[in-house]
Amino acid sequence: LEILPLSKLNEVYESGRRFYVGYTDPSTSEQHPGWPLRNLLGMLSRCWRGSKERKVLPLLAYRRQARKGQLWSSRSLVFSVRFGGDAVERPRFVGWERNAAGQLGPRMVNLSGNMDPKRVAETAVGLNLQLMRWRLAPTLNLEVIANTRCLLLGAGTLGCNVARSLMGWGVRTITFVDAGRVSYSNPVRQSLYTLSDCENGGRHKADAAADALKRVFPAMDARGVVLSIPMPGHGVPSGSEDTVRKQVEQLEQLVAEHDAIFLLLDTREARWLPTLMACARGKLAINAALGFDTFLVMRHGVGERSEVVSDKLSRCGEGPSTSGDGKFVPGGMPSTSGKSPSTSGEGPPASGDGPSRSTKELATSGNGQSVSIGGPSTSSGEAQLSVDQLGCYFCNDVVGPADSTRDRTLDQQCTVTRPGVSMMAGALAVELLVGLLQHPEKGRAPAGTGSWDAPCESPLGMVPHQIRGFIGRHHYMTPACTAFSMCTACSPAVVSQYNADGWEFVVRVLRDASYLEELTGLSRLHAETDLDQVWALSDSEGD
């Protein structure tokens, strides 16, 4: 038995060998062959139309049917067809249907949605979200999530986890910003990288992360930007001012192009410039920072700081808490330490070692009760802060950002944190964003603190200002802190100076971080604090 192509038909016919011309027959009728026979005979008639010999062609109509789990071909037909020598006209096409214009013609069917793996994946990835809306949250707005453009500053442990969670929620536009390269210690903790990304010196993290997202889901609009973010106190090397200026301009352009900015950087001072830019442009900024067994996830207030907040925090322009004669009252500041706290993780887990005493802060105690320290309250007893009152990452600092890595050894500059902490913080950061997007006021949603009887306008529940986690005790808090009128990142004095001077302001801060303390009044506040301490010492000696 030999199977030959149809082009060998004349050769086999002339040789006198026994043969059959076979075709696949879809018909189930025992008396009538299927439609493909018509096309086959039409083609053979045109091939033999010049021949005077009448030819008899044996045909095999192969039919295969499945019965009881087995394939059978017993219903196949064998018959002969006689060809005459007369010329045969081309048969007319039949089976046309009227198209949209009402004319007879072929109908085209696009099967790419069922045959193309990329198109199939694009349809399938949204099924879980659609099911969520269908069964559990009918008011869930999936379109606003998909259309949100997210900028991830940092493509390390937090950046990888945040990106995967954003994909799960249906976000389709993600941009990574990072200047580092993938090292051999990264793939086990940073889920978007593999061993091949570490070879030959390592790929840039931003590019490797963007390519990894496209491999997971080809329809992702993911890109990587290799960019080093200028930081206060790190200076501007001689001859590189133009390069640093281009970095600042590129970062500003990226912030302007995106809707949500995630601050996932290694150091505290690296978050200052993106925080300032997001505040100046009214962008939603979400911060995630890690300690060894602690984490902080918070959103920054959106919009201009109101005069009411500034008046409540600063009397007569002297400071956040003053006495009747305008002198500073010790202990009235958000943080009483002389240095900005820092950790060895991906940024410090908190912007202060303790709760603020002068700011209006809402915290949740260990027994789950809501503790209100000032601030407006709803009818249900739940205290909430409006968005223009919410502070940023630097609002609990009484010193300006500086080079936090100068006095650290190499081992202290590495990220030291429990592996699961980054996954928790990354997931909560994304959930905070999605909760804000579902709120009627979006990024301007007021902050709640987790009271069970508080009204929730978002279908996904409360949208807090901060989420602080302590894994060693498996304890979480959702405090809400007001903005600080002397904040080095979001105060009106800093934002207005940045809007007015732009690059000149930024380069001055990069070269001299103490300029921020002078601009905001923190340096004067420090001097008054030292003076009060001297008076206290004098009184104690007199006693």
Angle between helices 503-511 and 241-257 (to 10 degrees): 120
Residue 86, both tokens: 């007369």
Tell me the CATH architecture of domain 6-83: 3-Layer(aba) Sandwich (3.40)
Is the predicted pLDDT of residue 259 greater than 90, yes or no?
yes
Q: So what's the pLDDT on residue 388?
A: 61
Q: What is the 3-state secondary structure (H, E, C) of 277-290?
A: HHHHHCCEEEEEEE
pLDDT of 24-63, one tens digit each?
988 888 888 888 888 888 888 777 766 667 778 889 999 9
Single-letter residue type at 22: G
Residue 96, both tokens: 């046309």
Q: What percent of the chain has pLDDT over 90?
A: 36
Single-letter residue type at 140: L
Tell me the mean pLDDT in the region 431-455. 80
Instruction: Give the Cα separation of 363 and 477 in Å (integer).
Output: 7
Instruction: Give the Cα separation of 156 and 494 in Å (integer).
Output: 29
Instruction: Give the Cα separation of 427 and 162 in Å (integer).
Output: 6
Of the listed 414, 456, 487, 490, which one is catalytic? 414
Q: So what's the pLDDT on residue 351?
A: 40
Closest Cα partner for 166 from 213, 113, 230?
213
Q: What is the mean pLDDT of the chain?
A: 78
CATH topology of domain 227-534: Rossmann fold (3.40.50)
Query: Domain extents for the chain?
Result: 6-83, 227-534
pLDDT of 302-340, one tens digit each?
866 543 333 333 333 333 333 333 332 323 333 333 333
Radius of gyration of the chain (CA): 36
Closest Cα partner for 168 from 430, 420, 423?
430
pLDDT of 167-182, one tens digit each?
999 999 999 999 999 9
Tell me the mean pLDDT in the region 205-234. 94
Judge whether 414 counts as a catalytic residue.
yes
Q: In terms of DSSP bridges, do strands 104-105 and 221-225 run parallel, antiparallel, or are they unpaired?
A: unpaired
pLDDT of 450-464, one tens digit each?
665 566 777 888 889
Q: What are phi and psi of 104, to 5 degrees?
A: -75, 130
What pLDDT band is residue 375 in, cutting at 50, 70 and 90?
very low
Is the predicted pLDDT of residue 430 greater than 50, yes or no?
yes
Q: Any idea which of 71-80, 238-247, 344-353 has the lowest mean pLDDT?
A: 344-353
Q: Which residues contact 312 (CB under 8 A, 6 or more apart)?
A: 360, 482
The CA-to-CA distance between both ends of the chain, in Å, stands at 119
Instruction: Give the Cα separation of 438 and 405 in Å (integer).
Output: 39
Question: What's the DSSP call for residue 223?
Answer: E
Q: What are phi and psi of 31, to 5 degrees?
A: -100, -20
